[in-house]
Structure 1
Amino acid sequence: MNTKTYRYPSVLTIAGFDGSGGAGIQADIKTISALGCYATSALTALPVQNTQGVKAIYPIPYHTVQDQLVTILDDIFPDAIKIGMVHTGELVDTIVDTLAEYAQTPVVFDPVMVATSGDKLIEDKTITTIVERLFPMAAVITPNMDEAAILAEMPVRTLDDLYVAGLKIRKLGCQSVLLKGGHLDAPRLTSLYFDAQGTVHEFGFTKSETNNTHGSGCTLSSAIASYIALRNSLLEAVRKGQEYVYQAILHGSDVQVGKGNGPLNHFFNPQKLTKYDLV
């Protein structure tokens, strides 16, 4: 007799590895789990890194990425998908073409393009492919100020710059944009969410004096995807995702993990796995 009457809201993360546990798929799985969702994953790359930086990156073959996605999607179909760093146009095509074969589910895309050092991580032709193919399928993209500067082709240093850049990025074909103001030189950090209707929503948080922010972008995009899976509206998911990251930074600010930029405290308030009726 089948006694299974419930299911968990699931979130699929498509991202790279972080052996130090603070970013990438590790941060995604921690975030999704801490918020009461069930995490599945597909690995796109194997960076060798710790809290002090990336030593090397070993790519995963594209057919292997496709095989991972098909195997998961055929068995545990997600309520939301988070996509992290995609470092080549071929990888973008692999992901987009594979997901196109399945019913549409909300996608949160974190367009990782710039390293903490300021160095670009991907080539211009890859950025073009991302804009043309990934942007249209994403419910929301979450660039930081450095990435916004690349996408908008302008300096982004102030809150006024964020407003101008956001309007430019919206015209690139994405459904909505969350511009993260974490690098603003101000005591209060402001992020801007440009929704699908053209309304701009402003979110502000007090700046935390800590370098324990490794993986904050991965964590935010995963948190937004998790809140979508938990049946929040996109605007509420964006709001709650930012609040979660703020609290995770705050609760991890006094802890040393490694010798460089430490991780967030993803489990400052872990939730039990949510159960939905099985239909």
Structure 2
Amino acid sequence: MVNDFPQALTIAGTDSGGGAGVMADIKTMQENHVFAAAVVVAVTAQNTIGVTDFMAMPTKLIDEQFQAVAEDLKIRAVKTGMLADSQSVKTVVANLQKYDFGPLTVDPVMIAKGGARLLAEDAIATVRDELLPLATILTPNLPEAEVLTEMHIRDEATMQLAGHRLQELGAKNVIVKGGHETSDTANDFVLLENGESFWVSAPRVETNRTHGTGDTLSSAITAELAKGADVKTAIQRAKRYVSATIANGIEVGHGHGPLNHWAGRQLKEEDD
């Protein structure tokens, strides 16, 4: 019975404000009934107003965190978030190739809600060339998809084109998130490994309580994969969960406030 409980791993940076990064990942996985472990790649000084500073962890410590997790836990699914710089990305890639942690969700975090850069410019190519080919699921927002594909995304047709280009870069399954659009619904384009494509949508909520949305979606997907869900089901359940965390918001902070990660309990009550 040891290690029988579903376990997932987040590889990302911290958020001292509690709304994004490793903090949001752990909350999300816990609320979706999965035990969460973490490899901290960077530490940030931030809150709902913005990021003041961050520091990447020494690569030796990143390696040691991976080893510690692998020696004791049974990780069934893993995700990446903020990876800071090129050397950190390379270290994470090497460890993901060394240890079998199950399906990988890559959230290519580049810029914080307040505009602070969370991925060094020279690391973008490393993410594109070395990390994306390992991805079971890739979850970029529109600005991130534009950077990775080097194209301008202006409508649903170009979202679909971007999805195909990202798949050509090596990601097996792709979600191009439409949260930066201005329509009445938040529409995400999904392209699966088998060629199937579809849209997942939710009513857009007028709120600035959306800090950590990308982290939460990728973590919810990872949690579902850790429990054994297939990719399509994991994406659909995660989208529903994130929509609930936004729609049932909480008032914390003076800027881009965090999501209500407890909303998952309300979803379970509805299902029951």
Q: What is the TM-score normalised by the length of structure 1?
A: 0.91
User: How far did residue 6 of structure 1 move?
Assistant: 7.1
| CA displacement 1:36-63 (0-9 Å, x = unmatched) | 0101111111110000000011221111
Unaligned runs of 5+ in 1: 272-279
1:5/1:259 CA distance change after superposition, 3 Å: closer
- Dislocated runs of 4+, deviation >4 Å: 117-120
Instruction: Report the counterpart of residue 36 of structure 1 in structure 2.
Output: 33
Unaligned runs of 5+ in 2: 267-272
Match of 2:46 among 41, 46, 49: 49
Match of 2:161 among 159, 164, 171: 164
Match of 1:73 among 63, 67, 70: 70
> 1:159·1:184 contact (CA, 8 Å) conserved in 2?
no
User: CA–CA distance in 1 between the matches of 2:157 and 2:262?
Assistant: 34
Instruction: Report the counterpart of residue 266 of structure 1 in structure 2.
Output: 261
Match of 2:181 among 159, 167, 184: 184
1:124/1:65 CA distance change after superposition, 3 Å: same
Residue-pair matches, total: 266
Match of 1:94 among 91, 94, 99: 91
User: How far did residue 140 of structure 1 move?
Assistant: 0.4
Match of 2:61 among 56, 61, 64: 64
Task: Identify the structure with bigger relative contact order (alpha carbons < 8 Å, sequence gap 6+).
Answer: 1
Instruction: Give me the identity figure in percent.
Output: 36
User: CA–CA distance in 2 between the matches of 1:223 and 1:260?
Assistant: 24
Instruction: Report the counterpart of residue 79 of structure 2 in structure 1.
Output: 82
User: How far did residue 198 of structure 1 move?
Assistant: 2.0
Instruction: Report the counterpart of residue 274 of structure 1 in structure 2.
Output: none
User: CA–CA distance in 1 between the matches of 2:34 and 2:115?
Assistant: 33
Instruction: Report the counterpart of residue 200 of structure 1 in structure 2.
Output: 197
| CA displacement 1:96-137 (0-9 Å, x = unmatched) | 112222235111110012333556543443111112211111
User: CA–CA distance in 1 between the matches of 2:167 and 2:262?
Assistant: 34
1:122/1:269 CA distance change after superposition, 3 Å: closer
User: CA–CA distance in 1 between the matches of 2:142 and 2:235?
Assistant: 17
Q: What is the TM-score normalised by the length of structure 2?
A: 0.93
Quick check: 1:8 aligned with 2:15? Answer: no
1:51/1:124 CA distance change after superposition, 3 Å: closer
